[in-house]
Amino acid sequence: MSSRNRRNSGNRKNGRSRRNSRRKNSGSMAGFLTVSAVIIVVLLVIINAAPIAPKPKPKPVEIKTEETQPVTEPQSFQIQGVPIVSQNELKAGCETYACTMLLKSLGFDTDEFDFAENYLICSPISYGDDGTRFGPDMYSAFAGTVENGYGIYSPAMAKSMNKFFEAKKSKLKATSVVGETLESLCQKYVKNGISVMVWATTYMQEPYEKASWVVDFVDENAKTKKGDTFTWLQNEHCMVLIGYDQKDYFMADSVAGKVSHFEKKLAEQRFKELGSQAIVAIEQ
């Protein structure tokens, strides 16, 4: 064989060898990729098959709230220290007795006689030649005398009390309060320790028209004018409201000589029939 033929024969052998080598390398790579793919698939199966641990639930946040007790109004209350002064001598002077009890509870050294003689604004009851009776508007002055007269209403009584406070150089001032209920007076004043003079009737008896006269005295508080007729109600009475419970009001009562308890509905009715009149004495 010529050298040329030998070279060609050697080249063909070398070519076949290289092709076979490439086939082997290609087969090895394919095998490697196949094995890798299988491994990946197995891993994915394992991962998917593994149970997923549940996420821990967040613990509820405990919100601490401050416990508060509901505010309730006391069902029973009474102002202490209001002395009872029995109406033994000044038979027509219930307003003066109520005022005296109130003044004593405020620390003043006084009595019903001192107040009636020196501070109570009075206007006499008189008679004309024909028997006509004359007297004041009770919103302006006490009608008659505290021994045998008729009475006085809250504006004139507050004016009389302010004469007393001025004489004593006190900062207290008496104020006529008209148009409230006993319940509202208890809520505004009594439960805060402030006693209240109130107009109602003796033992809460029914009031009725008993006497009348021609008005001959008026002031800035009068409800009438001179020449008009003023009518007085029998059983008119003045006391000091000092307490209450669920069914009654408590009043320092000069006629009874004690603290009287009156059923609320009836007391409200009598208070209204006497004009819903009251007096409070407050420092100003």
Residue located via tokens 């009068």: 222
Domain that holds residue 191: 77-283
Q: Tell me which of 70-79, 173-182, 190-199 is least confident.
A: 70-79
pTM score: 0.75
26 and 159 co-located in one domain: no
Q: Which residues of 60-91 are buried (b: 16+ CB within 10 A; e: fewer)?
A: eeeeeeeeeeeeeeeeebebeebebbebeebe
Within the chain, strands assigned E span: 77-78, 122-123, 126-127, 133-136, 142-143, 172-178, 196-201, 208-217, 229-234, 236-244, 248-253, 258-263, 277-283
In a domain, 21, yes or no: yes
Both structure tokens of 144: 């008659």
Answer whether 125's CB lies under 8 Å from 106's CB. Answer: no
The arithmetic mean of pLDDT across residues 51-64, rounded, is 49
Please tell me the predicted confidence (pLDDT) of residue 69. 56
The reply to whether 112 falls in a domain is yes
Residues 264-283, mean pLDDT to the nearest whole number: 98
Domain identity same for 37 and 85: no
- State the pLDDT confidence band at 11, using cuts at 50, 70 and 90: very low
Residue 228 has pLDDT above 70, yes or no: yes
In a domain, 54, yes or no: no
Band of pLDDT at residue 75, cut at 50, 70 and 90: confident
How confident is the model over 102-107, as a mean pLDDT?
98
- Report the percent of the chain where pLDDT is more than 70: 74
Rg (CA), the chain: 52
Same domain as 85, residue 220: yes
Grade residue 73 by pLDDT with cuts at 50, 70 and 90.
Answer: low
> In which band, very low, low, confident or very high, does the pLDDT at 6 lie, cut at 50, 70 and 90?
very low
The number of folded domains in the chain is: 2
Asked whether residue 263 is assigned to any structural domain, the reply reads: yes
pLDDT recorded at residue 13: 47
The pLDDT assigned to 4 comes to 44
124 and 183: one domain?
yes
**Nearest residue to 223 via CA among 274, 164, 155, 147:** 155
Q: Is residue 82 part of a domain?
A: yes
What type of residue is 198? V
DSSP state of 267: H
**Which of 21-30, 33-42, 252-261 is least confident?**
21-30
Domain match, 149 and 34 both: no
Give the CATH number, domain containing residue 160: 3.90.70.10
Task: Please tell me the predicted confidence (pLDDT) of residue 46.
Answer: 54
Q: How many angstroms separate the CA atoms of 65 and 54, rounded?
A: 32
- pLDDT at residue number 284: 85
Mean pLDDT confidence for 28-49: 53
Same domain, 136 and 246: yes
Any domain includes 64: no
Residue 185 neighbours by CB under 8 Å, 6+ apart: 177, 196, 198, 241, 278
Please check whether residues 30 and 108 belong to one and the same domain.
Answer: no
Tell whether the model's pLDDT for residue 29 goes beyond 90: no
Q: Do 107 and 223 fall within a single domain?
A: yes
Do 28 and 137 fall within a single domain? Answer: no
Q: Is residue 70 part of a domain?
A: no
- For residue 171, report the phi and psi dihedrals to the nearest 5 degrees: -85, -5
Query: Considering the domain boundaries, does residue 67 fall inside one?
Result: no
Is residue 100 domain-shared with residue 199, that is, in the same domain? yes
Residues 83 and 41 in one domain: no
pLDDT of amino acid 36 = 57
Percent of the chain with pLDDT over 90: 73
Express each pLDDT in 137-184 by its tens digit: 999 999 999 999 999 999 999 999 999 999 999 999 999 999 999 999
DSSP letter string over 2-50?
-HHHHHHHHHHHHHHHHHHHHHHHHHHHHHHHHHHHHHHHHHHHHHHHS
What would the mean pLDDT of 265-280 be, rounded to a whole number? 98
Mean pLDDT of 264-272: 98
State the chain's mean pLDDT as an integer: 85
Residue 140 sits in the same domain as residue 10: no
